[in-house]
Amino acid sequence: MIAQIPLSAPDIGQAEIDAVMAVLHRSQLSLGPELKVFEEEFAGFHNAPDAVAVSSGTAGLHLALLIENVGPGDEVVVPSFTFVAVANAVMQVGATPVFADVDPITLNLDPLKVEAAITPHTRAIIAVHTFGVPAQMTQLAAICTRFGICLIEDACEAVGAEFDGKLVGTFGDAAVFGFYPNKQITTGEGGAVLVRTADQGARLRSLRNQGRAPGGDWLDHRDFGYNYRLPEISCALGRVQLRRLPEILTMRKAVAERYDRMLRAITEVERPQLELAGVSISWFVYVVRLSADVDRERVQARMAHKGIATGRYFPPIHLQPAWHARLGEHVSKAAQLSVTESVGRRTLALPFFNRITSEQQEQVVLALADAITAD
What is the distance between the alpha carbons of residues 262 and 94, in angstroms, rounded to a whole number?
A: 47
Percentage above 90 pLDDT, the chain: 91
Q: How far apart are the first and last CA of the chain?
A: 22
251/208 same-domain check: no
Query: Does 184 fall in a domain?
Result: yes
Q: Which tens digits make up the pLDDT trace of 294-331? A: 999 999 999 999 999 999 999 999 999 888 777 665 55
Per-residue pLDDT tens over the stretch 221-261: 888 999 999 999 999 999 999 999 999 999 999 999 999 99
Segment 110-121 shows an average pLDDT of 97
Q: Which domain holds residue 143?
A: 14-243
**Where among 224, 243, 262 does a domain terminate?**
243
- Residues 318 and 220 placed together within one structural domain of the fold: no
**Is the domain of 305 the same as that of 214?**
no
Domain assignment present for residue 6? The answer is no
Nearest to 55 by CA among 232, 299, 278, 174: 232
Instruction: Give helix then strand counts, H and E, for the chain.
Output: 13, 13
252 domain-assigned? yes
pTM: 0.96
Q: Are residues 336 and 264 in the same domain?
A: yes
The verdict on 66 and 150 lying in the same domain is: yes
Both 158 and 39 in one domain: the answer is: yes
Summarize pLDDT for 187-220 with one digit per residue, the tens.
999 999 999 999 999 999 999 999 998 878 888 8
Report the CATH number at residue 103: 3.40.640.10
Residue 225 lies in a domain: yes
Q: pLDDT for 12-56, tens place per residue? A: 999 999 999 999 999 999 999 999 999 999 999 999 999 999 999
Per the structure, the count of domains in the chain is 2
